[in-house]
């Protein structure tokens, strides 16, 4: 079992999109019993809130449901609970390191590092471009799944 935590600032746009996309990809690949996925925030700003409506609509366009999501903040205990903790941008990664007290087991990663265009996942909160975020998240999750499958 590989346990993955996707992390962004508020846990209402990018990280839940990655969580639900990865769940869908794992299900389609017949790996839902081998991959456990969750998401969290580095901040407390959106605690308890559902997926942001435009992000929810973008997922729905692709047949992916996200009902029942409630934003939560990442904790230091998540470092031990998850095999990979994947941030969406450099600020997330910096805050994840702070929350976890470092990364001695090299579990903290960036989602776009699993693509051929490393960098940051576009933040739709500021750009309003949920399609670009969808493309980034999908590419990152597909690359991550390929890497996980190649390890087996």
Q: Any catalytic annotation for residue 152?
A: no
Q: Are 70 and 50 in contact (CB under 8 A)?
A: yes
Q: Any catalytic annotation for residue 98?
A: no
Torsion of CA 99, 55, 145, 84, to 10 degrees: 10
The catalytic residue among 78, 89, 123, 136 is 123
Q: Any catalytic annotation for residue 123?
A: yes
Of 39, 45, 38, nearest to 1 by C-alpha is: 38
The catalytic residue among 14, 23, 56, 109 is 14
Q: What distances in angstroms separate CA 22 from CA 69, 95, 104, one per listed residue?
A: 15, 23, 25
Which residues carry out catalysis? 8, 14, 123
């Amino acid at each position: 079992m590989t346990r993955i935590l996707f992390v962004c600032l508020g846990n209402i746009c990018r990280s839940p999109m990655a969580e639900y996309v990865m769940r869908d990809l794992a299900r389609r690949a017949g790996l839902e019993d081998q991959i456990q996925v969750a998401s969290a925030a580095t901040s407390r700003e959106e605690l308890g809130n559902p997926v942001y409506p435009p992000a929810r609509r973008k997922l729905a366009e692709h047949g992916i449901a996200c009902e029942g999501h409630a934003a939560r903040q990442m904790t230091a205990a998540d470092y031990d609970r998850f095999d990979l903790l994947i941030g969406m941008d450099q600020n997330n990664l910096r805050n994840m390191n702070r929350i976890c007290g470092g990364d001695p087991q090299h579990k903290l990663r960036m989602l776009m590092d699993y693509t051929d265009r490393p960098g940051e996942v576009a933040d739709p909160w500021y750009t309003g471009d949920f399609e670009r975020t969808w493309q980034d998240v999908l590419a990152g999750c597909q690359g991550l799944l390929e890497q996980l499958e190649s390890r087996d």
